[in-house]
Chains A and B, each alone.
Chain A
Amino acid sequence: EAQVTQNPRYLITVTGKKLTVTCSQNMNHEYMSWYRQDPGLGLRQIYYSMNVEVTDKGDVPEGYKVSRKEKRNFPLILESPSPNQTSLYFCASSLTPANTEAFFGQGTRLTVV
């Protein structure tokens, strides 16, 4: 089954404690991205990757890092989480950047206290 898998689904952590949210897709997609969803703001892109070893900032990259060492994986790293990073995070992938359909993971709800 074609899917994008994120882990964990829920995470509560403390300010400053480094964390990683994993994302994996099994569709051999080139393009992957991370979004955060906040009430009243919709989805905002954090980072994206056009292919292996190619990543770039989205609209709200501050406080986040990503890596793309393999085509299928695109982890999101918060080196020093802060309460304003409490949000619902989604990973998405598509065959190419211009491909019309993006596939989304189920989301990771992160709470930073």
Chain B
Amino acid sequence: GNSVTQMEGPVTLSEEAFLTINCTYTATGYPSLFWYVQYPGEGLQLLLKATKADDKGSNKGFEATYRKETTSFHLEKGSVQVSDSAVYFCALRGNTDKLIFGTGTRLQVFP
């Protein structure tokens, strides 16, 4: 069945450091891929998405490219801020239309 694997956290960075959070997936067909972010005490919010191979999703300085050849959708940001501290979830929506989430990666950014 469809599944998402993302790196375990926490990821701890200093402000202005480069961020990568790895995400790989297993799916039949051509799923849509997403990154959701959960700030402390809040629900999940859509951060970015890509619906076909080679698409790049971007928002708030974050980017992720849909790589079908490596079945990956890694999240990157060139310069993180303290306000980016949150839990990040990679997810896919395949042919069943159900959203399938990874286990989440906690990012902690220190000044």
Contacts and interface: CB of A to CB of B under 8 A. Distances in A.
Interface residues of B, number: 21
B69 interface: no
B103 A97 contact: no
A98 B4 CA distance: 18
Given A100-B34, A100-B49, A43 B43 contact: no
Interface stretch (B11-19, B60-68, B75-83, B92-100): B92-100
Interface string B93-111: 1000111011110000000
The binding surface of chain B is classed by DSSP as strand
Nearest to B99: A102
A27 to B, nearest CB: 14
Interface stretch (A12-20, A63-71, A78-86, A103-111): A103-111
A90 interface: yes
**A4, A35, A43, A107: which has the most chain B beta carbons within 10 Å?**
A43
Interface string A17-43: 000000000000000010100001111
A98 B93 contact: yes
Nearest to B96: A97
A45 interface: yes
Given A45-B98, A98-B97, A100-B51, A40 B46 contact: no
Interface of B: 4, 32, 34, 36, 41-46, 49, 51, 89, 93, 97-99, 101-104
Interface of A: 4, 33, 35, 40-45, 48, 58, 90, 92, 97-98, 100-102, 104-107
